[in-house]
Amino acid sequence: MEAICADSVIKDFGEVRALDEVSLGIDPGELFFLLGGSGCGKTTLLRCIAGLEEPTSGRILFEGKDVTDLPTHKREAAMVFQSYALWPHMTVGQNIAFGLEERKVPRSEISDRVREALEMVQMPGFEDRGIDQMSGGQQQRVSLARALVVKPKCLLLDEPLSNLDAQLRLEMRSEIRRIVKENGLTGVYVTHDQAEALSMADRLAVMDQGKVQQVGSPEKVYRNPESSLVASFIGETNLLAARVKGLESGGLVAVETDAGNFSGRLTLEGWSPREGDEVAISVRPEAIRVTGGGGESQGEVLQTTYLGEIIQYRIRMRSGVEVQASEMNPRSVIEQGSGVSLEFHSEDVVVLRE
Amino acid sequence: MNARKAIILTAAVALFFGVFFLFPVLMVLGEAFKDKGGGFTFAYVIQIFVNPVYLEGLWNALLLGVTSTFAALLIAFPLALLTHRYYFPLKGPLSALILVPLVLPPFVGAVGVKQMLGVKGALNAFLEKLGMMDPAAPVDWLGEGRFWGIVIMNALHLYPILYMNIAASLAHLDPAMEEAAQNLGCSPWRRLRRITMPLTMPGIFAGGAIVFIWSFTELGVPLVFDYSRVAPVQIYDGLKDLESNPFPYALVAVMLIISSAVFLLSKALLGRSKLGTAPRPKGRQSEKRLQGWKGWGLTAVFLGVFLLASLPHMGVILLSVATDWYGTILPEQFTGAHYDEALGHPLVVPSIQNSLLYASGAMLVDLVLGLAIAWVIVRSTIRGRALLDALVMLPLAVPGLVLAFGYLALSQEGRAFSFLVGANGNPALLLVMAYAVRRLPYVVRAAVAGLQQSNVTLEEAALSLGASPLRMMRRIALPLLAANLLAGGILAFAFAMLEVSDSLILAQQAEHFPITKAIYALLNTLGNGYELASALGVWAMVFLGISIVGAVSLAGKRGGLFRM
């Protein structure tokens, strides 16, 4: 049974529809990501799950039980806030003990559990510190401990790392994943940072304009985007307008574009394009192999960006279309202005419905 | 701003403040501890605590201060919490309307209360009509309950100060603070006690201290209610024989010390808590929209509080249009004659002119000083900025009575301020200065809030594009600050128009009376003095109601006006 389930959830704020019939299921023990740009509805969905927002229609289910009308404080879904929301009039220890006190846990047990929670987030002995004496990273850990200590059924995280600097963010990524997994928690994590989602998630949902666009594991969503929106939101890609020329063996589709003729695979289930259809193709820059000079060139290098482990080319094809390509571990650099030819495998070309 | 200019400005402000604020206040303190030969003595102050009459007056003033503050809190906290949590019909206009009582002069309202609760007042007439009271033995409500009458007048007058402070604290609260508690299993009521209340303490203390000092030293209301056993009235009565009697000085000194102690205590409590550093909200709307009868119910609550607070003033309005209102529930016949008559009375028109002159003068002084001080506090980096900030807030801690007293003593023939007294004893300059000093904190707070909100890079951009500092001020900084300055200025003006203690004490001749003193004089006139005073009071209230609504709608939402 799914740990958390959203069933056709609609949420309107006045005229604005923040969630548009969202349905998805989250499995027990899984770290699930809601990914999308600002205003896509991801935080609203999280707040509906937490009970901080009441859906206009639709249901929220926890382990099959309808909790839509259950107030937040009875849901056992602990939340970690973007601003941490640590109460400044209480010490670290008092902040963490709060949820236990509300649950009428005996005094003696509270201090043990607060200590354990602080050890869990690697801040032992911080009980008596004031909130304002701690750095952002430490506050982040305390707010995590405060949510964990009540042994919630699920942990909800609202952009928890967005206020930290880049180095700390990397560190906390693995830290949060470790904590969620060690405690066997079901986690729902909201972010706009695709690297965070790809590196931490068991599964993720890409959201846009209040709708879930695609759900799947990071590899699946990255390799097999089902729409040009998902393809361009996750990672970088070249999206080219194309026209279907015909179907090939092995489920491949032949298309023609301004950058040449290709064949590519389909990702969207139940869709088969017909000859002459206007479609789009997506090719990741790293899937394109650039070879310089010799023979008849297909395009010209407009710009070369050398980043050490990787080199990026901006190439203008003869037809005028521009394409991004990148090469890992570059052994040589192709100079700006050189003629180049492009190669790629049809496995790396995804044909998408326009 | 360069350091040299900042230092010059600071020095000028400090000089002004030293002369017109610290000097008179310290002089009063000094007199209280000086014996006849000029030596130091505790005798007079000790006498205050030994003499049963003075002790009772002081004790009553303290009780009035404490009970009025709690009563005001009882009104303000629920209102602030409700506006913070819910959206209901007509919320916008209502949240401005419930601030209006602050400028309805309680001193005038007291006249209305007397009319309603007197022996031959509306309440008794109503009860007699119902057959619940024997007309031969009417109850003297005010005779029995003068103390509570004053408490209620003070609370209904001053609750907006607490309301604005608490509302500002709540507005600065990150909604996630409350949501986190809810999320961890806390029920709404417990959340109020464990999270919301403690986090709004800065607002409660800040507003509470001002309300306490205000009602502790209130002169006008006890005077109209004939409640003479309270320290401010005793001081006022002692003015006549000031030369020979040192006790008014001692009483003033004791009140000053208590007020300052409360002010400093609230500052210290605020300073120690780090609540001011709580994170700001992230722009998520936390107001819940209430539908149907619940929403309209809240509308009714807010309207009810306003009506209750303005009931005394409605009495004043009725009185001002009544031909005769004696022993009946409502006046039997109405007339506009009092207004005409009032305009013809030798006290009325000059008093309106005088008040307009004094109040605009005070407003101008405050605007210039307030802007300069705010600029130093926010935009300069000189040392001692914090001290300057604390210094200009001090007038909030010093009762108006103390300052008026000091000014009066210093303006006598041959003393330091006698140059401020114009020909024929004209107190215009004295009153302008007294009004200005006491209202300065509001203008400074308004200007500081405005400067903090407007990004300094906007000014730097203008300078980098070649504008001289003065042109930058005129074209960029002042327009950005305009709303705040206007709001602070209007507030200073409104308060100056209604000021009681300075006006009563410093204006001696009828031709120089400001409105409040003219009203007080009319109240003591036989014949239709009450009706004329009411008519004048109504004129003043209409005028002030308009200006405060203007000020609030300009900058009230930002809430900074009554912060300490």
| Rounded Cα–Cα distance for residues B162 and B243 (Å) | 39
| B411-423 tens-digit pLDDT | 887 777 777 777 6
* Set of chain A residues whose Cβ sits within 8 Å of the Cβ of B186: 73, 98, 102
B343 pLDDT above the threshold of 50: yes
Q: Where is average pLDDT lowest: A328-332, B278-282, B406-410?
A: B278-282
Task: Using CB atoms within 10 Å of the CB of residue B428, give its burial: 0 to 12 exposed, 13 to 18 middle, 19+ buried.
Answer: middle
Split at pLDDT 50, 70, 90, the class of A337 is: confident
Examine the pLDDT at A35 and tell me if it is beyond 90: yes
The answer to whether A201 and A190 have CB atoms below 8 angstroms apart is: no
pLDDT tens digits, B227-247: 888 988 888 888 777 667 778
Interface contact B177-A85, CB threshold 8 A: yes
Any domain includes B47? no
Residue A308: Cβ within 10 Å count = 7
pTM over 0.90: no
Domains in chain B, number: 1
**Contact between B185 and A99 using a beta-carbon 8 Å cutoff:** yes
The answer to whether A88 contacts B183, with C-beta atoms less than 8 Å apart, is no
Q: What is the structure's pLDDT at B310?
A: 83
A139-152 per-position pLDDT tens digit: 999 999 999 998 88
Tokens of A38: 């600002």
In DSSP notation, B465-523 reads TT--HHHHIIIIIHHHHHHHHHHHHHHHHHHHHH--HHHHHH--SGGG--HHHHHHHHH
In a domain, B557, yes or no: yes
Query: Is the minimum CB–CB distance between B278 and chain A shorter than 8 Å?
Result: yes
Mean pLDDT in residue range B263-287: 60
What band does B68 get if pLDDT is binned at 50, 70 and 90?
A: very high
Place of tokens 């200073």: B492
Task: Pick the most confident of B35-39, B111-115, B236-240, B357-361.
Answer: B357-361
| Beta carbons of B274 and A132 less than 8 Å apart | yes
CATH of the domain at B146: 1.10.3720.10
Task: Determine, yes or no, domain membership for B58.
Answer: no
Flag if B184 and A89 touch (Cβ within 8 Å). no
- Please indicate if any CB of chain B lies within 8 Å of the CB of A54: no
- Reported as half-sphere exposure (CB side, CA atoms, 13 A), residue A320 has a value of 0
Pairing of strands A349-353, A260-266: parallel
Q: Which residue of B has its CA nearest to A86?
A: B177
Determine the average pLDDT of the residues in B109-121: 78
Considering only CB atoms, which chain B residues are within 8 Å of A83?
174, 176, 279, 282
Query: Does residue A172 surpass a pLDDT of 50?
Result: yes
- Nearest beta carbon to residue B278 from set A51, A73, A88: A88
> Under a CB-based contact definition with an 8 Å cutoff, are residues B209 and B263 in contact?
yes
- Is the pLDDT score of B281 beyond 70? no
Q: How far apart are CA B467 and CA B458, in angstroms?
A: 12
Taking the C-alpha atoms of residue A180 and residue B47, their distance in angstroms, rounded to an integer, is 72
pLDDT of B417: 78
Token pair 């601003």: residue: A83
Contacts of A106 (CB under 8 A, 6+ apart): none
User: Is B429 contained in some domain?
Assistant: yes
Its ipTM equals 0.70
Looking at beta carbons, which residues of chain B come within 8 Å of A147?
Answer: 184
For residue B129, count other CB atoms closer than 10 A to its CB. Answer: 12
Give the domain extent around B350.
Answer: 3-29+67-562
Of the two residues B84 and B141, the one the predictor is more confident about is B84
Q: Is residue B399 within 8 Å of residue B438, measured between CB atoms? A: no
Is the minimum CB–CB distance between B197 and chain A shorter than 8 Å?
Answer: no
Comparing A10-19, B445-454, B455-464, the range with the smallest average pLDDT is B455-464
Q: What is the Cα–Cα distance from B236 to B404, expressed in whole angstroms?
A: 10
Q: Which of B306, B299, B354 is nearest to B100 (CA)?
A: B306
The mean pLDDT value for B111-139 works out to 78
Contacts B185 to A, Cβ<8 Å: 73-74, 76, 99, 102-103, 150
Greater pLDDT, A307 or B340: A307
Give whichever of A87-101, A290-304, B34-48 has the largest mean pLDDT. Answer: A87-101
Q: Which whole number is the average pLDDT over B199-222?
A: 87
| Average pLDDT for chain B | 81
CB-based contacts of B7, cutoff 8 Å, min separation 6: B382
Which of A83, A148, A155 best probes binding to B when mutated, by most B CB atoms within 10 angstroms? A83
Is it the case that residue B76 has pLDDT exceeding 80?
Answer: yes
- Percent share of chain A, pLDDT over 90: 55
Task: Enter the tokens of residue B321.
Answer: 């249009």
Going by pLDDT thresholds of 50, 70 and 90, the confidence category of residue A115 is very high
Of the candidates A248, A256, A246, the one whose C-alpha atom is nearest the C-alpha of residue A280 is: A256
Of residues B242 and A14, more confidently modeled: A14
Average pLDDT value over all residues in chain A: 90
Residue B60 belongs to some domain of the structure: no
Residue B37, in any domain of the structure: no
Residue ranges of domains in chain A, CATH in brackets: 4-224 (3.40.50.300), 236-353 (2.40.50.140)
Give the range among A213-222, B86-95, B281-290 with minimum mean pLDDT.
Answer: B281-290
The model's pLDDT over B550-560, given as tens digits with 9 standing for 90+, comes to 666 665 544 44
Task: Inform me whether the pLDDT recorded for B262 exceeds 60.
Answer: yes
Among A81, A132, A146, A148, most B C-beta atoms within 10 A, so best to mutate, is: A81
Tokens 């970088």, located at residue = A236
Q: Any idea what the Cα angle at residue B224 is, between residues B222 and B227, rounded to 5°? A: 40
Yes or no, beta carbons of B182 and A72 under 8 Å apart: yes
pLDDT digit string, tens, across residues A245-300: 988 888 889 999 888 888 899 988 888 888 889 999 999 999 998 887 666 678 88
Q: Does B282 contact A50 at a Cβ distance shorter than 8 Å?
A: no
Q: Is residue B42 part of a domain?
A: no
Instruction: Answer yes or no: is pLDDT of A112 > 50.
Output: yes
CB pairs under 8 A between A and B: 79
Report the alpha-carbon distance of residue B258 to residue B213 in Å, rounded: 9
In a domain, B43, yes or no: no
DSSP code of residue B557 = G
Q: What is the pLDDT of residue B284?
A: 52
